[in-house]
Structure 1
């Protein structure tokens, strides 16, 4: 009797556990992609298995088109990614409401998300549930401020990218 009940419980628990792990992204594997182009400081296009993917960097917000430092942020991302095979690491949510792939982007051990903040060309943003590396981004921001990198040389941006988007809607 005990053996039959334990098999029954196990048959319920294993699928539940696997569903929870895979649906949350906890067991999601990193993927290698080929860089295609930069869209802006925090977005790029890559090739994966013959398809183009638009990737939005998790946890950072870079200046928008025509906003101060937007060109420098875009150029930083281009230099980081140009002619490289990159690795995408995923967090809990893989896509945003616009259908873009959400990822941490690596060249070897260096993470673009973190490095663009450290260069003073993006700010950290915590958008749950994707907050795995947020504390790293805050430390990179602290370092950029202390060393007066990027827009921290002048004390920061006049407006955050989010404020800029609200006051400069796309036409």
Structure 2
């Protein structure tokens, strides 16, 4: 029996993640940056395999949405030329097969940094909610300092609203 494409992607993501986390894999969480997909998604390489990583707890504007390009550029500047460390929460892979992670470069975390820059909003998606309160505080800091899209009072539509208004076929 063939699995639906999204189930196959999720299974593939779990297999890659399991291989990375096997005992004896000394740098299991260390990955090499390949490219930015958008402000809250990136492509990395680990163990000879590339995988898409989706940032936990944040939703950045889509590429064609207002501030989408700025969010993508911010994430690119954060990641480019650096080794990254992935930190996981309870759910490891989403329904599209993307690895869900907090992305670190040294002592900085991309998830928090993009919120503080005012280029993403904090989102609470169970069960990965361990850092939600801190992310909401980072977002409020950006609002107070009028960083990013908060200088204009926020986005006209949240990224989720924008995706709903501009549906596109997801590549599975």
Please give the TM-score of this superposition, normalised by the length of structure 1: 0.82
Shift of 1:111: 0.4
Deviations 1:102-158 (A, max 9, x none): 000000111000000000000000000001111111110110001000000000000
Cα RMSD for the two superposed structures:
1.4
Shift of 1:30: 6.3
Matches within 5 A, 1:1-171: 31-171=29-169
Q: Is the 8 A contact 2:79 2:105 kept in 1?
A: yes
Shift of 1:83: 0.8
Name the larger-Rg structure: 1
What number of residue pairs does the alignment pair up?
144
Extract unaligned runs of 5+ from structure 1.
1-24
Q: Is the 8 A contact 1:30 1:90 kept in 2?
A: no
Q: Is the 8 A contact 1:124 1:138 kept in 2?
A: yes
Structure 2 CA distance, aligned partners of 1:65 and 1:38? 11
Q: Is the 8 A contact 1:30 1:89 kept in 2?
A: no
Extract unaligned runs of 5+ from structure 2.
1-20, 22-26
